[in-house]
Chains A and B, each alone.
Chain A
Amino acid sequence: MTKCGVSVLTTGDEDEVSSCYEEHEWGKNRVKGREKEREKKKRGNARKKGASRAGRGDEELEERAERGEKGRRRRKRDNHDGKGRERDEEEQAEEKSGRAQEERDTEEGDAKRKKKNESAKREEKKEDGGKRAVKEKANAVKTKKHKKKSSEEEDVEEEEEEEKEKELRPESLSPEELEKLKEAVDEKKKLIQTLRGKPWPMKKKLSTLRESQEFLEKYEGALGKGKGRRLYAYKVMMTKKWMKFQRDFENFKTACIPWEMKIKEIESHFGSSVASYFIFLRWMYGINMILFGLTFGLVMVPEALMGRPYGSMPRKTVPRADEASAMDFAVLWDFGGYAQYSVLFYGYYNNQRAIGWLKFRMPLSYFLVGVGTVAYSYMVVIRTMARNANESGGGDDNSFNFSWKMFTSWDYLIGNPETADNKFASITTSFKEAILEEQESRKDDNIHLTRFLRVLANFLVMCCLAGSGYLIYFVVRRSQKFALDGLDNHSWWERNEVNMVMSLLGMFCPMLFDVISTLENYHPRIALQWQLGRIFALFLGNLYTFIIALMDEINLKRKEEEIVKFNMTVWEASLYNGTVPENSTAPPVTIHPADVPRGPCWETMVGQEFVRLIISDTMTTYITLLIGDFLRAVLVRFLNYCWCWDLEAGFPSYSEFDVSGNVLGLIFNQGMIWMGAFYAPCLPALNVLRLHVSMYLQCWAVMCCNVPQERVFKASGSNNFYMAMLLVILFLSTLPAIYTIVTIPPSFDCGPFSGKSRMFDVIQETLESDFPAWFSKVFSYASNPGLVLPFLLLMVLAIYYLQSTSKSFKEANVELKKKLQMARKAMTQAAEQQSNNNASPQAQKGEARSFLWWSEIGSSGIHGKKKKKKETFRALCKDLNVLL
């Protein structure tokens, strides 16, 4: 068996192993049969004893393992000096066990009538066996006497075989025994599943595993009767196959996780906090992959394949005036020209209800993908948050401060001497801090000064925020003026002003905040949170100013559109008048679509703005990475040889990896994607590209030019913090998108919803024309206020109920904690008393401890429940959001 197991390591072929395994198995079966049977009986007994023995389960298992080994040894011996002795031993053992069983049976017999019946039957059987045993014993004795008498030996063997066949044949087993057998098999299975969680040395695990696998192999086939037996065997086979498949699938799955090795390497160099950024990046990449799949597969590809080709209608053609410059790189880089009139943007899509031979409902699909993107993102973020919250296990109390510092502060991942040095230093300082805090209980010196400084700092930060907001608003306004003048007569700076200003603000304001926060004199962790919150506010303010400016622009464009619409009718009329006299049969088809006047199409404009923003943001990120990290590292490294002070240790030194800033950048980037994805279906694709590149670039940059952090930033606590920010951003970024979708009528001559008064009319249209009449009727009933309002009310009530229950759970938790402390005190007193009385303190202590554990279990159980409630609560909130 060992051979088989380990040979895998070298040959690596699972099938071979299993076949080898089976062979081995069948060889052994016969020999082991009796032993197993006995074991099983014993186990049946044990189960009858039930709950009281549950605690001793482990011991039993160990025992069994030992016995198994003994058995194997015995078998080996067996080959050398015949079976006689072995049988002797076995019989004795059986007799013994039989007697023990009888005793147990009588103990329990009167308690349960049914069981009594059972046990009686078994006793009968036992007696039978006992008789046989006696006979055999005699035989065995004989064999001992006449060792050479082969006929006798044959006799014994024959008998043995008979017996074994009997045992192996399932028909001979009574139903109860079958039942028991089944239970035993199940138990073994469970054992195999939980084996890896057992704190045993590997050797024992292996032997136990072999043992129980053998048991399974043997008895699984023997279970069931007749028809049922075949079914059972089939079932067993299928579960085996399924297990194997699952195992393979798991192997496959872990092989498929991208960048695992890279992240592991980084983790071992920089500790878990830096790695947490990369894991977050990877997670984001996964989400964007799915969003990309949705938009690409359901919107862009169908339109490109089945929609009308380029140049067939005005909205799909570059206007005559721009044709000359449509292929210029500068224009394309700005996503104008041919890029603007392609599947990348909203305006290109046609309002034809169904396209191609598949009758693909393009407008409907467009709308649903837009909604689905948002819904999916909500779902994923909330699910991940709930999971993280469950994992962290709610260790928010401070009762084990020092112990945790002592036992969990070392990060076992660290595999780099430099990081290790930093870690040692930070652990030492954290201990010193804790000691100081413990020693002096809140010595508040000059609280007025700190308070004043803090207020001042916050005032300064507010000024910064307001200033940056105004700057952006101003710039966007100016750029609109430039746009009205026409882009050609302005410099590059004037054209890209908005994006550049936003990026620059995002770069320099955090530094300013950093300087300001030194005024405040907070604890580092709190300071970090303030810093994060401020940067968050800055980004958010910038984004919203940008959106408000965009809204202004949208309104402008819509006014323009009105005018164009009016002109259009005039133009059409004139065209009509002009063509009629010449040829009355041909409608004005001769007009090239590029010459048709058209509206400004604000949706495409919004999409373009977002795409430009993303591009410039990405560029700034990469450039700061290259200059701030790479160039700095290069300079420090090579100028160090000829400089008057030590550059590596002194002022510039190498840069640290800024986890929080990077995470914030990522989150805001994602927010912009969510906001703009409806108007520019290409955004998720762009983002996937960006994330992919930044994964490699940042991995490289971290490994080659950053030094490990000195500041301790706990990885586990921050994960949900990131997620919470992501959720906020998601909510804030879907708000304007939904607002525009719901309130502003779409442009009249571009996009999939042109000609409708609102974008969501597409749903109604589909209901009316694609579904049977009764369906739309039902829908209209369901959507009338009389039904919706009570439903909303119900939801609000449910939320209220869940919240109050979770509150009460929390209270119960606190209560239990109090009780725990009381118990501790009581226990201490009891122990003291006991020691005074000089009696055995063990019993009482055990009692108190068990009480402690019970209350603990209770509290943890409540905790788990609370978490679940919270999850449902969050899900409900999400539903509400969507509904509203």
Chain B
Amino acid sequence: VLFYDCTYFTRKEILRLFYRYRDLAPQLVPLDYTNQPDVKLPYELIGSMPELKDNPFRQRIAEVFSEDGEGNMTLDDFLDMFSVLSEMAPRDLKAYYAFKIYDFNNDDFICKSDLEKTLNKLTRNELTEDEVRMVCEKVMDEADLDNDGRLSLEDFQHMIVRAPDFLSTFHIRI
């Protein structure tokens, strides 16, 4: 099994994931993957999975893990996503992808607008402008180690690996 070394899954789980993938669109995905068809599932299907349906960041997750950056996923991307989000994946790997997820404009830095977006998604826009601004300032204050007004990957990792809840919340069981 080649996927075995690339993911944190056992064979059974990979098979199960494959069936899950297939069940999303049985008419699109063939059962037989021997000659590697070029199949992509659109984001609407991926985002409607029960595991992702209620996640405020589902679109970002799909975008980050898909190869085209639009949220359309091949089987490889799909496996990759759930491998990173599995329990077995190490902290650093998870932190890397969490950073990518929270980096809304893909500029390799989490800047203020990214923070605001994150916060609004988390609270469903229930905080006032002032509160949002204040929280973002506090976050910058805490985590921005080099004071350049945005969080780089290193800042983010530095902060996130110390978080007690990160490992227990940043995973999806499937």
* Majority secondary structure, B binding face: helix
Are B2 and A5 neighbours in the complex by a CB distance under 8 Å?
Answer: yes
Instruction: Report whether A409 and B79 are in contact in the complex, using a CB–CB cutoff of 8 Å.
Output: no
A580 to B13, CA, bound (A): 80
A716 to B169, CA, bound (A): 9
12 chain-A/chain-B pairs, Cβ below 8 angstroms:
A12-B11, A196-B8, A201-B77, A272-B169, A396-B164, A404-B163, A412-B85, A415-B51, A424-B124, A435-B135, A715-B165, A831-B147
Question: Which B residues touch A540, using CB under 8 A?
Answer: none
Beta-carbon contact of A407 and B8 below 8 Å: no
By the criterion CB–CB under 8 Å, are A424 and B164 in contact? no
A408 in the interface (beta carbon within 8 A)? yes
A196 B96 Cβ-Cβ under 8 A:
no
In the complex, what distance in Å separates the CA atom of A199 from the CA atom of B165?
A: 22
Q: Give bound CA distance, A17 to B4, whole Å.
A: 13
Chain B residues within an 8 Å CB radius of A415? 50-54
- How far is B159's CA from A852's CA once the two chains are assembled, in angstroms? 13
B174 CB contacts on chain A under 8 angstroms: 264
Give the CA-CA distance A276 to B5 in the complex, in Å: 29
Contact of A406 among B51, B54, B119 (CB under 8 A): B119
B55 touches A192 (CB 8 A): no
- Known contacts A192-B5, A431-B127; A408/B33 CB under 8 A: no
Q: Which of A247-255, A458-466, A670-678, A869-877 lies at the interface?
A: A247-255
Q: Are B127 and A845 within 8 A (Cβ)?
A: no
Whether B169 pairs with A6 at a CB distance below 8 angstroms is no
Chain B positions within 8 Å of A10 at CB level: 31-34
Q: Which residue of B lies closest to A272 (CB)?
A: B168
Q: Please state if A428 and B77 are interface contacts (CB–CB under 8 Å).
A: no
**Given the complex of chains A and B, what is the CA–CA distance between A399 and B143 in angstroms?**
9
Question: Which one, A4, A202, A397, A408, contacts B77 given CB within 8 A?
Answer: A202
Binary interface profile of A, 821-836, with partner B (CB < 8 Å = 1, else 0)? Answer: 0001001100100000
- Asked if B27 is at the interface of the complex by the 8 Å CB criterion, the answer is no
Cross-chain contact A203 with B169 (CB below 8 angstroms): no
Whole-angstrom distance between the alpha carbons of A699 and B8 in the complex? 28
Contacting pair B147 A435 (CB below 8 A) = no
Q: Is B41 an interface residue (CB 8 A)?
A: no
A12, A268, A397: the one contacting B173 at CB < 8 Å is A268
- Considering only residues 74-130 of chain B, those with a C-beta below 8 Å from chain A are 76-77, 79-80, 83, 85, 89-90, 92-93, 96-98, 102, 115, 118-119, 122-124, 126-127
Q: Which 6 A-B pairs have the closest CB atoms?
A: A5-B2, A202-B76, A420-B54, A402-B138, A205-B6, A395-B164
Q: Which residues of A contact B172 (CB under 8 A)?
A: 412-413
**Which residues in A have their C-beta under 8 angstroms from that of B13?**
254
Contact between chains at B164 and A9 (CB < 8 Å): no
Min CB distance B147 to A, Å, is 5
**Is A283 engaged at the interface, CB distance under 8 Å to the other chain?**
no
Smallest Cβ distance from A158 to chain B, in angstroms? 36
A400 touches B142 (CB 8 A): yes
Alpha-carbon gap, A195 to B8, bound state (A)? 10
* C-alpha spacing A202/B84, complex, angstroms: 11
**A197 and B90 contact, CB distance less than 8 A:** yes
Q: Is the CB of A424 within 8 A of B122?
A: yes
Complex CA–CA separation, A420 to B52 (angstroms): 11
Cβ distance A861 to chain B, nearest Cβ, rounded Å? 14
Judging by beta carbons under 8 Å apart, are B54 and A407 in contact? no
| A443 within 8 Å of B (CB atoms) | no
Q: Across the interface, which residues of B come within 8 angstroms of A391, CB to CB?
A: 167
Instruction: List which B131-169 residues lie within 8 A (CB) of chain A.
Output: 131, 134-135, 138-139, 142-143, 145-148, 154, 156, 158-169
Chain A residues with CB under 8 A of B83? 196
Residue in B closest to A21 when the chains form the complex, CB atoms: B2
Beta-carbon contact of B165 and A404 below 8 Å:
yes
| Chain B hits for A438, CB < 8 A | 134, 138
B168 is contacted by which of A12, A419, A716 (Cβ under 8 Å)? A716
CB-contact partner of A399 in B124, B142, B154, under 8 A: B142
How near does chain B come to A270, taking the closest CB pair, in angstroms?
A: 12
Count, chain A residues at interface, CB 8 A: 83
5 more CB-based (< 8 A) A-B contacts, given A8-B1, A716-B164 = A205-B6, A268-B173, A406-B119, A416-B54, A716-B168
Q: Which of A685-728 contact B (CB under 8 A)?
A: 714-717
| Chain A residue contacts of B50, Cβ below 8 A | 268, 415
A: residues with CB less than 8 A from B are 2-10, 12, 14, 17, 192-193, 195-199, 201-203, 205-206, 209-210, 247, 250-251, 254-255, 264, 267-268, 272, 391-393, 395-397, 399-404, 406-417, 419-420, 424, 427-428, 431-432, 434-435, 438, 714-717, 824, 827-828, 831, 845, 848-849, 852-853, 856
Residues of B within 8 A of A848 (CB): 146
- Judging by beta carbons under 8 Å apart, are A413 and B171 in contact? yes
Give the residues in chain B near A827, CB-CB below 8 Å: 145-147
Whether the pair A413, B145 counts as a contact (CB closer than 8 A) is no
Question: Is chain A's interface secondary structure helix, strand, loop, or mixed overall?
Answer: helix
Residues of A contacting B147 in the complex (Cβ-Cβ under 8 angstroms): 827-828, 831
Question: Which residues of B lie under 8 Å from residue A401 when comparing CB positions?
Answer: 138, 142
A593 → chain B closest CB, angstroms: 58
Complexed CA–CA distance, A717 and B165 (Å)? 8
Across the interface, do A393 and B146 meet the contact criterion of CB distance under 8 Å?
no
Q: Indicate whether A202 sits within 8 Å of B80 (C-beta atoms), given known contacts A9-B18, A196-B5.
A: yes
Across-interface contacts of A201 in B (CB, < 8 A): 67, 76-77, 80
B92 touches A412 (CB 8 A): no
Q: Assess whether A408 is in contact with B173, with CB atoms less than 8 Å apart.
A: no
Distance A254 CA – B169 CA, assembled complex (angstroms)? 21
> Which residues of the partner chain A approach B160 to less than 8 Å between Cβ atoms?
403, 407-408
Q: Please indicate the chain A residues that have their CB under 8 angstroms from the CB of B142 in the complex.
A: 399-403
Q: Chain A residues near B96 (CB, 8 Å)?
A: 199
| A9 to B11 CA separation, bound complex (whole angstroms) | 9
Which A residue sits closest to B18, measured CB to CB? A9
Residue of A nearest to B31 (CB): A10
CB distance from B64 to the nearest CB of A (A): 10
Contact B143 A400 (CB under 8 A): yes
Is the CB–CB distance between A409 and B169 below 8 Å? Answer: yes
Q: In this complex, what residue of B is CB-closest to A717?
A: B164
Given A424-B124, A828-B147, residue A400 in contact with residue B162 (CB < 8 A): yes
Minimum CB–CB distance for B123 against chain A, Å: 4
Please state if A3 and B171 are interface contacts (CB–CB under 8 Å).
Answer: no
A206 and B76 contact, CB distance less than 8 A: yes
B134 touches A435 (CB 8 A): yes
The residues of B that contact A434 with a CB separation of less than 8 Å are 135
Contact B57 A849 (CB under 8 A): no
The CA-CA distance from A193 to B89 in the complex, in Å, is 13
Residue contact A210 to B123, C-beta cutoff 8 Å: no
User: Of the candidates B5, B55, B123, B163, which one forms a contact with A407 in the assembled complex, judged by CB atoms under 8 Å apart?
Assistant: B163
Query: Which among B77, B135, B167 is the interface contact of A716 at CB below 8 angstroms?
Result: B167
Residue of B nearest to A203 (CB): B76
Whether the Cβ atoms of B127 and A432 lie closer than 8 Å is: yes
List the A residue with the shortest CB-CB distance to B4.
A247
Q: Bound complex: CA of A6 vs CA of B32, how far in Å?
A: 9
User: What CA separation (Å) do A716 and B168 show in the bound complex?
Assistant: 7
Q: How far is the CA of A358 from the CA of B17 in the complex (A)?
A: 53
A9 touching B33, Cβ below 8 Å: yes
Expressed in whole angstroms, the Cα–Cα distance for A396 and B165 within the complex equals: 11
Among B14, B143, B168, residue most surrounded by chain A Cβ atoms (within 10 Å): B168
Known contacts A412-B85, A716-B168, A827-B147; A402 and B1 CB within 8 A of each other: no
On whether the beta carbons of A431 and B131 are closer than 8 Å, the reply is: yes
User: In the complex, what's the smallest C-beta–C-beta distance from A825 to chain B, in angstroms?
Assistant: 10
Which has the most chain B C-beta neighbours within 10 Å: A198, A203, A406, A417? A406
